Structure 1
């Protein structure tokens, strides 16, 4: 019985470590994207939330609608990439978690 408990405890610790690693990796996601014309750079986190916005002096020559469009498009591309990265990390976590489950004979 002690061997079974030791195995269970080891598996739980491994799964807990996987969860902590995932949380750290998700918290560390940052994606920067610059508009094709170089006027706007947006940085977003793993939730797609805007963390930083850098504007070049050239934005002062843009119309309000052009400015709006370039900011939204640039931040949108950055958010899309960040969410994709988040999905990759969650998929990798799910695979590792499944491999750590009892009865999985994948050899890991």
Structure 2
């Protein structure tokens, strides 16, 4: 319960800042993974969009199928890491809002 208009304004202002912080934290979420052999590094954002993909010299020894598999597997691992980080951000936010 809110006792005065000033208290209400302050409460709304704090919640607005929390939402702005959430938006900034969500935009900053990244997942980055490198394949075991170091051939591929993939980075994705919190929505799973590929942001960076780098290749090492080891790709020159791969068949096209091996190359495809390592790119997909590494990118998927990066996406999983990003989604886990995003879930942590959302869970922290929900705990703060509930408290």
Q: Same fold (TM over 0.5)?
A: yes
* Structure 1 gaps, min length 5: 100-108
Query: Using the alignment, how far apart are the partners of 2:38 and 2:90 within structure 1?
Result: 32
Give the corresponding residue for 1:105.
Answer: none
Counterpart-to-counterpart distance in 1, 2:44 and 2:59: 20
The answer for the alignment partner of 2:14 in structure 1 is: 14
State the number of aligned residues: 98
Shift of 1:48: 1.3
Q: CA deviation at 1:58?
A: 1.8
Question: Counterpart in 2 of 1:65?
Answer: 65
State which structure, 1 or 2, has the greater radius of gyration over its C-alpha atoms. Answer: 1
- In the TM superposition, structure 1's runs of 4+ consecutive aligned residues that sit over 4 Å from their partners are none
Structure 2's unaligned 5+ residue stretches are none
Query: What secondary structure, in the 3-state scheme, does the structure 1 residue paired with 2:32 have?
Result: strand
Note the aligned Cα RMSD (angstroms).
1.3
Post-superposition Cα deviations, 1:50-94, rounded to whole Å, max 9, x if no partner, equal: 100000122122111111110111010110010010011011111
